[in-house]
Chains A and B, each alone.
Chain A
Amino acid sequence: MDKVNVIKILLVEDDTLDVMDARRTLDRMDILYKMQVARNGEEALDFLNRSEAAKGDVPDIILLDLNMPKMNGTEFLATLRQKSQWKNIKVFVITTSDEKEDRDLMQKLGVSGYIVKPLKFNNPSSIDSFNLMIDLLNIKNKT
């Protein structure tokens, strides 16, 4: 039996509904995952620092909302990119904006993907993005 590969996800999102939404979407996908939630950039950095100190697992993926209190997504991303030990973490931005300018900006900040809310199954663009995200990681759980 192959080793079961659990995808470790850190969701940085302040809106409870969006957290629920993400969870629902992930639940319906054919994957095993473990998800932590941070309410804003600061909490996310705290979590990363703590898990590093405890020699815990660093997440494979960060799902990042942009519009958050205290430290928003862009600021968090800038801080994250300064630390070399976190450079392998794939970051996917979840946003309501599907404007080209915003996509280009995110591309510049070194994000791996761009997922448009709402994360519904009847929203093809978001589900495609999720699938793409999983494929990109190439760590889809082997059972």
Chain B
Amino acid sequence: MKISHLIFLGFFLILIMFSIATYINYKQTEKVNENSDWFANSTTVMRQGNRFQRNILNMVSGLKGYLLSGEDYFMQSYDSALTENKKILDELQTIVPDTSEQKRALHELIGLNDQWILDYADPLIRARKAAGLSDSSLAAYNALYRDKVVLGTEKIINRNLQQRFREFTDYEYRLREARSQVLTDSIAQTRTISFYLTTFSIILGFLISLFLAYRISTRLMAMVRMADTIASGKYEVQTADTGRDELSQLANSLNHMAHVLSENIRLLERKNQELDQFAHIVSHDLKAPLRGIDNVITWIEEDHSTELPPKIREYIQLIKGRLQRAESMIRGILLYARVGKQSPEREFINLNTLLQDIAESLVIRPGIKLEIQPGLPDIHSEKIPLQQVLSNLIGNAIKYHDKTEGYVRVYLKDATDHFIFFVEDNGPGISRNYHSKIFAIFQTLEARDSFESTGIGLAIVKKILDDRKQKITLTSEPGKGSVFSFTWPK
């Protein structure tokens, strides 16, 4: 599976978990809202119910007051309570759901209320109103009063009414409790589900990222190790990655690259070897005919010099000069080819002794002073290549010096992780145009006839330094002398 797909899948799973949690919470909120609506309704029902009950009492006391005193004042409170109760009952009918248990209770309540008014209150009020008009009507009222009030039918109806009403409100209370219990349970459940979903999402996310990090980093580290191995010069490395994702593709590309690199390097090494061998063989084979010519010339000189006209003797000298140059060039090629062939051997070198040895091996004409920095340190390094580099640079500085009085200075700077050697002279200096040219093989800045030089010295210096990844810098201008500085590993 591709890593991008894996990441996508992981996030998708976590997203689904959170979506479910959010949906459940949303549903719960809806439920709570619905419940609070219902609760508001229920509160209205209770409030109106209580008012209804109070109104009944008002009606009873208003009726009794009127019946006893005949004052209209009592009728007013009776009437207002009656109108209000009608309204309350209408309202309750709309609020209370049709199918519920309460609806029936409400119908019974309305029935009892109507019964109380029609059978009891209305006849009594009518009779009481008429009682003042005639004696017969007063007698009728008294009879009715006894019948309705004293005998207690009214009380039965009223008690029923009260009883029904209590049932109605009790039912409402029970309903409230039940609903509140259900809501509490549902909230708790939602909490639990949300908690588990969230926890699970977090754990899943953590595991996925852990897995991805492990999978990516271990394999990346393997590739880093491989790249390091390549950088350290071992090109024949492969990294094993059997997956089928982007990192495996990268590993495959790296393997391919390492393979190509290793082949190219091998090819390059072979070519280099061939070139060295070639130089070796060519110079040896070239030596033979040159030697032959040299032999013949020598024999002529040794055996026949008295017979030769002066012109021929002069020509023979010219031939000998060219032969010498050809020989020194061949020696140069051999030297150049031999650079880097020796296995590097490190030893302790006293730099002052080394430079003294070099100075003694060189021909220094009078007037030129070779100044070597005193008290140079002992270093642990490859002696022969360092000697070759220094010897060639100092030798050049002396050989090409154009002043009657001049100097060549050799000094050292210690740059923490490497040394920098300086060979400075106040000779002719080198124009900037030639700074890069002089390190090429057989490149000389003097006419070949005018000067004994092969142009191999600096090429060897460059090759020795290149092989060791060291740098050489030339600071020089015509007439201002030259400073060659090169770095050397510690």
* SS of A interface (majority): loop
Query: What number of A residues sit within 8 Å (CB to CB) of B?
Result: 13
When the two chains form their complex, are residues B284 and A118 in contact, meaning their CB atoms are under 8 A apart? no
- Chain A nearest CB from B308 CB (Å) reads 19
Q: In whole angstroms, how far apart are the Cα atoms of A118 and B295 in the complex? A: 8
> Measuring CB to CB, which residues of chain A are less than 8 angstroms from any residue of chain B?
15, 17-18, 20-21, 24, 67, 96-97, 117-118, 120, 122
Whether the Cβ atoms of A17 and B287 lie closer than 8 Å is no
Do B284 and A117 touch across chains, with their CB atoms under 8 A apart? no
Q: Max chain A CB contacts within 10 Å: which of B288, B295, B299?
A: B295
Most buried by A among B287, B288, B294: B288
A sample of 19 more A-B contacts (CB under 8 A), given A96-B287, A122-B298, is A15-B288, A17-B291, A17-B292, A17-B296, A18-B292, A18-B295, A20-B299, A21-B295, A24-B299, A67-B284, A67-B288, A96-B284, A96-B288, A96-B291, A97-B284, A118-B291, A118-B294, A120-B295, A120-B298
Q: Are A17 and B295 in contact (CB under 8 A)?
A: yes
B291–A20 touching, CB < 8 Å: no
| B295–A20 CB distance below 8 A | yes
Q: Which of B291, B296, B299 lies in contact with A117, CB distance below 8 A? A: B291
Selected A-B contacts with CB under 8 Å, 10 pairs: A15-B292, A17-B291, A18-B292, A18-B295, A21-B295, A67-B288, A96-B284, A96-B287, A96-B291, A122-B298
* Chain A nearest CB, measured from B284 CB (Å): 6
B296 nearest CB neighbor, chain A only: A17
Q: Once bound together, how far apart are the Cα atoms of A17 and B297, in whole Å?
A: 12
Complex Cα distance, B206 from A30, in Å, reads 99
Q: Which 5 residue pairs across A and B have the least CB separation, nearest first? A: A17-B292, A96-B287, A118-B291, A21-B295, A17-B295
Kindly state the separation between the CA atoms of A96 and B330 in the bound complex, as whole angstroms.
12
Tell me the nearest residue of chain B to A65, going by C-beta: B288
Instruction: With CB as the reference atom, state the residue of chain A lying closest to B292.
Output: A17
Q: With a CB–CB cut-off of 8 A, which chain B residues contact A122?
A: 298
Contacts of B284 in A (CB 8 A): 67, 96-97
Q: Please name all residues of chain A whose beta carbon is closer than 8 Å to the beta carbon of B296 when the two chains form the complex.
A: 17
CA distance in complex: A118, B291 (Å): 7
Inter-chain contacts of A24 with B (CB < 8 A): 299
Distance in angstroms between the alpha carbons of A40 and B284 in the assembled complex: 19
B337 nearest CB across to chain A (Å): 11
Give CA–CA (A117, B327) in the complex, Å. Answer: 13
Q: Which residues of A contact B295 (CB under 8 A)?
A: 17-18, 20-21, 118, 120
CB distance from B145 to the nearest CB of A (A): 153
Inside 8 A of A96's CB, which chain B residues have their CB? Answer: 284, 287-288, 291
Shortest CB distance B134–A (Å): 165
Across the interface, which residues of B come within 8 angstroms of A18, CB to CB? Answer: 292, 295
Distance of A103 from chain B, by nearest CB (Å): 15
In the bound complex, CA of A114 to CA of B298 (Å): 23
Q: How far is the CA of A15 from the CA of B289 in the complex (A)?
A: 10
Q: What's the Cα separation between A20 and B296 when bound, in Å?
A: 10
